[in-house]
Chain A
Amino acid sequence: MATTVIDTIPAHLKPFVPSPTPATVTTEKSTIWGWLTTTDHKKIGTLYLFTALFFFLVGGLEAEIIRAQLGGPNRHLVSAETYNQIFTMHGTTMIFLAIMPLSAAFFNFIIPLQIGARDVAFPRLNAFSYWVYLFGGLFISIPILFGHGPNGGWFGYVPLTTRAYSAGINIDFWVIGLQILGISSLAAGFNFITTIINLRAPGMSLMRMPVFTWMAFVVQFMVILAFPVITIALFFLMMDRFFGTQFYEVAAGGDPLLWQHLFWIFGHPEVYILILPAFGLVSEVLPTFSKKPLFGYPVMVYSGILIGFLGFGVWAHHMFAVGMGPVADSVFGVTTMLIAIPTGVKIFNWIGTIAQGQFKATSASLFCVGMVALFTIGGISGVMHSSPPADLQQTDSYFIVAHFHYVMFGGSIMGLFGGIYYYFPKFFGRLLNEKLGKWHFWLTFIGMNLTFFPMHFSGMLGMPRRIYTYDAGQGWEVFNHISTIGAYLLAVATAIFIYNFFKSRVSGPAAGPNPWGAGTLEWTIPSPPPVYNFAVLPTVTSRYPLWEGKQADIEGARINQQSGKTAEQLGIVIPYSTIKPLLAAAFMIIMFSGLIVGHWLILVGAAATVLALYGWLTSPLEPEHH
């Protein structure tokens, strides 16, 4: 018997009270095979979390090498060629392999729980997205270990990256790897758009949706509209490099600016793809620790949507230095200034949330407050170079490096760390150690500012981006020295976090369903949630069902929190585990690597991929109903 919403709820239920912390944590043990074949959004989210943290450490190690090399004048810790590979992979890793997938970990784990669903719309496609990400990430990351890492900067400007100027296979791995990663993001985009549109529980109207899910929704639209554009830019470059086309061939009439336009039409929306999930997380954490609903919820939602739209109309602010002429410069300067308005509105809404509530400082809320502060600094320096004349002084200098690290580290990473402290109990059923968490926060906060704030000055003094080393006597030494000390401090902070993460996962105190007294739907179910998430699909009557819910919310929550039953006992159908998405992903990577290995392998890989897809599509998703 499958469950219905109403008829299984006993009539005598009392209003909802957060249950006391239980002594034990119920987790299902899973084999390696279980992880390889999983279609459960929570397990896939966990895989994303671990993989993204791994790549975060890789990208962090690359950053430490960069800072060690730049810590003093005329250092030769690594060779100039290796240095090129390291800064290229630092950017590529952090953007595509760490921040985006860390957001994806939360999308996977949290969105279905926040909207009251049992899984995403397409569980197997979800597994496919993850495996493509993992394999694509390894594909693009491993070459550097053999001295063949991509070395053209994360934006891969032509003509530097064309065959004539980059003959080696370094750029080949980058061009192919990013196309592979794009497929992962696109598949996830279709999946989450469908999930959010169609799997919301009864009563979960769009304007009751938690802001994290809202921001994720906006992000997925940006992904499916922006990634095709970089895919085409990369496809042209691949054709130029492998098949002798002339898209970026200046002598043949080709225009290097074509790459810049296509890249940044993707690249600027990408910035919002990286930051909006953190905005969403902050919008969950701050209300919980202020004991107050989010200030200005509708404005928060609309400003997120507006950012999504405007994000597609500002790309050429990355190109003021190429001489587009006064009209284009003015237009893109103005649109860039405009996009600061919805972003600024969000900052005031967060401040409004804290100001009117009873703020409680925890690791999660500190990271989120830190995010608001540091992102504001990055946002303000961003508005500075929205003005073309100012930008001409700042572009390609360390001032820009300072700016986007305040946005990406101070914004995205701090927000995501806040999210990790907040949702760790939901992932693993245990709490992270708060004391270590606060050490992590303060060391990160101080280290981050020590690292990146001096870069404003070294940039203003003329230090260019991507420079390998520099002579003494230009006034850059002291700022670089401070930056490097800050980077070492960040390494210590991250080590504390990693220790805390793995220690608490095993022996942290049991969290219970709702350790923070939060108000949204994901906190109505056990931590970690049972495989079916909700024993009964909740009926939602408000934005914070646990805080302001009507009787229906509360009754559903109580049932779900106390359910210790298996899916079979409840008659809930769970999708089969299957290895086919992994196989399809693996064969697809083989197909792509044929471009480097030999063209025969493209055909073999394509045939194997098609076979795997046929096997996947002809096997049933889940057992039949009966």
Chain B
Amino acid sequence: MSTATVSHHYSSTGLENRKIAIWAFIGSECMLFVSLISTYLIYKDRSVVGPYPHTPWTDPSTGHVYHAILNIPVTSASTFILLMSSLAMVLALSAVENKGKPQHNLGERILGNSKLWLFMTALLGLGFLGCQAYEFTSFVNEGLTIKTNLFGSTFFTLTGFHGAHVTAGVIWILTMLFIDFKRGLGPSDALNVDIMALYWHFVDVIWVAIFTLVYLIR
């Protein structure tokens, strides 16, 4: 019936609707993060009190010395974790796409295990969120909250907004993993996984921008 049903699921471009929509969505999300990141950069060095991201600060009223807040080594590690999750996502997608093809050896069986790679992606995503939770708590303990100064307001809002995107992504991946356990994902689900992967890679790329502009550049 493939030709007879052409009029119903007709597509002018040959692309899937959802694929076009997710690209439009990503374009829109870009503007969201551009606004957030620009605000952070505009407000950089404008806080009237510390603590500051890259330099120590002595509170003139108490004499208390605050260290530079950002912990580059920890965030470098969490950035690496998030990038690795993108790799796992690529493998998950390829495993779903190639489901049903013969697997000759252990290596191919591991690479073709979509449950494993979906699980790894979610786990690495959770690892990133764990690092962020650790980072946020230690900042608060050191005396920087969302109310402390402009740095606190912009930093927590920007990274929290990104963290919320990662959280949504992890829920999405876990849902997909649940479906995989329930009925098994196959090539007919590849589009759904592909869309999820696009979202996930986008969230990763945004993090690379945040890591560079907020953490690395002084």
Contact = CB atoms under 8 A, between A and B. Distances in A.
Nearest to B148: A246
A194 interface: yes
A198 interface: yes
A194 B21 contact: yes
Contact of B39 (A122, A202, A247, A536): A247
Contact of B7 (A247, A254, A537): A537
B58 to A, nearest CB: 18
A4 B6 contact: yes
A625 B10 contact: no
Nearest to B42: A258
A243 B148 CA distance: 12
A186 B30 CA distance: 13
A1 interface: yes
Nearest to B145: A244
B131 to A, nearest CB: 23
B39 A190 contact: no
B7 A4 contact: yes
B112 to A, nearest CB: 26
A45 B37 CA distance: 37
A254 B39 CA distance: 10
B138 interface: no
Interface string A190-219: 110110011111101000000000000000
B27 A194 contact: no
Contact of B150 (A191, A246, A572): A246
B4 interface: yes
A460 interface: no
A121 interface: yes
A225 B11 CA distance: 25
Interface stretch (B43-51, B61-69, B80-88): B43-51
Given A4-B6, A625-B5, A190 B28 contact: yes
Interface residues of B, number: 40
Contacts of A121: 17, 20-21
B146 A244 contact: yes
Interface stretch (A59-67, A227-235, A521-529): A227-235
B15 A225 contact: no
B104 to A, nearest CB: 36
A252 B149 CA distance: 7
Given A194-B21, A198-B11, A245-B157, A252 B28 contact: no
Contacts of A255: 42-43, 46
B106 to A, nearest CB: 35
Interface string B1-45: 101111110111101010011001101110110011001001100
Interface in B98-133: none
B173 to A, nearest CB: 15
Contacts of A228: 28-29, 31-32, 35
B150 A198 contact: no
A236 interface: yes
A103 to B, nearest CB: 18
A2 B7 contact: yes
Contact of A229 (B20, B27, B31, B48): B31
Contact of A200 (B12, B20, B147): B12
B17 A122 contact: yes
B154 interface: yes
A5 B5 CA distance: 11
B79 interface: no
Contact of A194 (B20, B32, B150, B153): B20
Interface string A528-544: 00000000110000000
B85 to A, nearest CB: 22
A232 B32 contact: yes
A204 B10 CA distance: 13
Contact of A2 (B1, B29, B32, B39): B1
A246 B149 contact: yes
Contacts of B31: 224-226, 228-229
B35 A198 contact: no
Given A232-B36, A252-B48, A253-B47, A536 B7 contact: yes
A254 B149 CA distance: 9
Given A193-B20, A198-B20, A247-B154, A537 B10 contact: yes
A225 B1 contact: no
B153 A247 contact: yes
A239 interface: yes
Contact of A118 (B8, B36, B152, B153): B8
Nearest to B6: A4
A226 B28 CA distance: 8
> Which has the most chain B C-beta neighbours within 10 Å: A191, A198, A231, A235?
A198
A3 B21 contact: no
Contacts of B17: 121-122, 194, 198-199
B4 A254 contact: no
Given A5-B7, A231-B32, A245-B146, A194 B43 contact: no
B21 A122 contact: yes
A189 B4 contact: no
Contacts of B46: 253-255
A1 B32 contact: no
Contact of B153 (A200, A239, A262): A239
Interface of B: 1, 3-8, 10-13, 15, 17, 20-21, 24-25, 27-29, 31-32, 35-36, 39, 42-43, 46-48, 146-147, 149-150, 152-154, 157, 171, 175
Given A228-B29, A247-B39, A247-B154, 20 more contacts: A2-B6, A4-B4, A118-B8, A121-B17, A121-B20, A122-B17, A193-B21, A198-B11, A226-B31, A228-B31, A232-B39, A235-B157, A236-B157, A239-B146, A245-B147, A247-B150, A253-B43, A255-B43, A536-B7, A614-B175
27 contacts: A2-B1, A2-B7, A191-B21, A193-B20, A194-B20, A198-B11, A200-B12, A224-B24, A224-B25, A225-B31, A229-B31, A239-B153, A245-B152, A245-B157, A246-B153, A247-B154, A252-B47, A252-B149, A253-B149, A254-B46, A255-B43, A262-B35, A537-B10, A572-B7, A572-B8, A573-B8, A610-B171
Those 10 A-B pairs whose CB atoms lie nearest each other, nearest first? A245-B153, A232-B35, A228-B31, A228-B32, A224-B28, A244-B147, A253-B46, A200-B12, A121-B17, A194-B20
